[in-house]
A and B are shown apart, each in its own frame.
Chain A
Amino acid sequence: MEIGRVNEKRKEPEKLPVNEEMDILAPIDDVNQIRLFRFMGATEFYCGYIPCDWFEKYNKNMKNWSKKDLQLSLNRREIGFANLVSLEDFVRVVKEAHECGAKLYVTINAPSYPEINYPFLTEYVKLLDDCQTDGLIVTDPGLLQRIHKSVKSRLILSTCNQAASADAVRFVQQLGVQRIVFPRYISLRQMERITDLVPDMEYECFILEGKCVYDDGNCNILHSCGSFCSERWYSRYYDSGLGPVQQPQLYENEEDFYEFTSPYLNTRLSDSGWRNMGCGICSLEYIVKNIKIDSLKLAGRGLDNRQKLKNISILKKALDLAYKGASARELKKFMEKYQPWKEICNNRYRCYFPDFDEQESYRL
Chain B
Amino acid sequence: MKEIAILIPAAKWSFLAEEYETYEYRRDDIFAGWMLEVRRKVCGQLFDEGRVPGRIYFGNEFCERLIWTEAEVRKMAELCGNHGWKMSLVTPYCTDEGIGRIVRVLEAVKDLEPIDEIIVNDWGVLYRIREMFPRYACVFGRVLDKMKRDPRLSRKEYETRFSAEGLRLLQSPGASALAYREFMSECRVERLELDNVIQGLYLEDIRDKRISVYAPYGYVTNGKICPFAGIHNKPEEKFRVTTKCRRECQDYIQLMQKSLSALPSEQDERLDQVRVIRKGNTVFFMNEDIGQLLRDPHIDRIVYEPVVPM
Q: How distant is the Cα of A163 from the Cα of B125 in the complex, in angstroms?
A: 11
Q: Is B220's beta carbon under 8 Å from chain A? A: yes
Q: Is B227's beta carbon under 8 Å from chain A? A: yes
The reply to whether B28 and A220 contact each other, CB–CB distance below 8 Å, is no
Hey, which chain B residues are within 8 Å of A220, CB to CB? 146-150, 219-221
Chain A residues 294-333 with CB under 8 Å of chain B are none
Stretch at the interface among A106-114, A128-136, A265-273: A106-114
The reply to whether B256 and A225 contact each other, CB–CB distance below 8 Å, is no
The reply to whether B179 and A143 contact each other, CB–CB distance below 8 Å, is yes
The reply to whether A241 and B150 contact each other, CB–CB distance below 8 Å, is no
Q: Is B232's beta carbon under 8 Å from chain A? A: yes
Hey, which chain B residues are within 8 Å of A140, CB to CB? 146, 174, 180
The reply to whether B222 and A218 contact each other, CB–CB distance below 8 Å, is yes
> Smallest CB–CB gap between A290 and chain B, Å?
16
Chain A residues 109-145 with CB under 8 Å of chain B are 111-118, 139-145
Interface size on A, residues (CB 8 A): 85
> Smallest CB–CB gap between B263 and chain A, Å?
6
Q: How distant is the Cα of A192 from the Cα of B179 in the complex, in angstroms?
A: 33
Q: Is A34's beta carbon under 8 Å from chain B? A: no
- Quick one: given A165-B99, A256-B235, are A218 and B93 in contact (CB under 8 Å)? yes
* Binary flags per residue of B91-113, CB closer than 8 Å to A gives 1, else 0: 00111101100000000000000
The reply to whether A221 and B239 contact each other, CB–CB distance below 8 Å, is no
The reply to whether A71 and B93 contact each other, CB–CB distance below 8 Å, is no
The reply to whether A225 and B153 contact each other, CB–CB distance below 8 Å, is yes
Q: Is A249's beta carbon under 8 Å from chain B? A: yes
Chain B residues 129-176 with CB under 8 Å of chain A are 143, 145-150, 152-153, 161-163, 165-166, 168-170, 172-176
The reply to whether B123 and A168 contact each other, CB–CB distance below 8 Å, is yes
> Smallest CB–CB gap between B227 and chain A, Å?
4
Q: How distant is the Cα of A269 from the Cα of B231 in the complex, in angstroms?
A: 32
Which residue on A lies nearest to B182, using beta carbons? A145
Chain A residues 236-258 with CB under 8 Å of chain B are 236-245, 249-250, 253-254, 256-257
Which residue on B lies nearest to A144, using beta carbons? B183
Hey, which chain B residues are within 8 Å of A165, CB to CB? 94-96, 98-99, 122, 124
Q: How distant is the Cα of A127 from the Cα of B221 in the complex, in angstroms?
A: 34
Chain B interface size range: 35 or more
Contact partner of A257 (CB less than 8 A), chosen from B98, B222, B239, is B239
- Quick one: given A112-B146, A142-B174, A165-B96, are A118 and B179 in contact (CB under 8 Å)? yes
Q: Is A72's beta carbon under 8 Å from chain B? A: yes
Q: How distant is the Cα of A161 from the Cα of B122 in the complex, in angstroms?
A: 9
Stretch at the interface among A11-19, A199-207, A278-286, A347-355: A347-355
Q: How distant is the Cα of A167 from the Cα of B102 in the complex, in angstroms?
A: 13
> Smallest CB–CB gap between A88 and chain B, Å?
26
Q: Is B241's beta carbon under 8 Å from chain A? A: yes
The reply to whether A250 and B262 contact each other, CB–CB distance below 8 Å, is no
The reply to whether A358 and B242 contact each other, CB–CB distance below 8 Å, is yes
The reply to whether A183 and B256 contact each other, CB–CB distance below 8 Å, is no
Q: How distant is the Cα of A163 from the Cα of B144 in the complex, in angstroms?
A: 12
* Binary flags per residue of A185-200, CB closer than 8 Å to B gives 1, else 0: 1110010011001000
Contact partner of B166 (CB less than 8 A), chosen from A72, A163, A250, A348, is A72
Q: Is A65's beta carbon under 8 Å from chain B? A: no
